Amino acid sequence: MRRSNDDAASEPGGDLLPDAADHARQYASVRRAHETELIEDYVELIGDLLAAEGEARAVDIARRMGVRQATVTKMVGRLSELGLVKSLPYRSIFLTDQGQAVAERSRKRHVVVLQFLRAIGVSDATARIDAEGLEHHVSDETLEVMRRFIADLQ
């Protein structure tokens, strides 16, 4: 029944072990982000390819994601079931309205995170790599802080 030091959050420097329920919510939040992360990356990439090339082919998605075509086919099937994507066999992939919305939102967030990293002095190459992972774990509140930070620099 070991119950001793709790409320580590209130201790000076007690940044570890917050209240157990809150702690669990933190991890749950991360798990939730992981569920949508890949979906967002695929949809965002498809949107970028559509904007840049006019079409999004599985080969190109595979090359950019660094995965096999079979993996892309399977993922596109999932995106289709989720109503984010419209695709016919052996044809280019397109975004539904819902997919467009997701792509737009992801793209904006990605750009803010990338610009923020550069703004605080991270090199472009590193900023790009880090942004690709960080973007999915940035809350609206933090995103807004980043946006302000960038704006204040002008």
Residues engaged in binding DNA (CB under 7 A): 1, 31, 35, 37-39, 57-60, 65-78, 87, 89-90, 92
Give the chain's radius of gyration (CA, Å): 19
Per-residue x/- marks for a second copy, 83-112, CB under 8 A? ------------------------x--xx-
C-alpha 142/C-alpha 116 separation (Å) is 11
Task: Give yes or no for residue 1 binding a second copy (CB under 8 A).
Answer: no
**Residue 69 contact among Mn ion, a second copy, DNA, none, beta carbon within 5 to 8 Å by kind:** DNA
Q: Which is nearer to a second copy, 23 or 86 (CB)?
A: 23
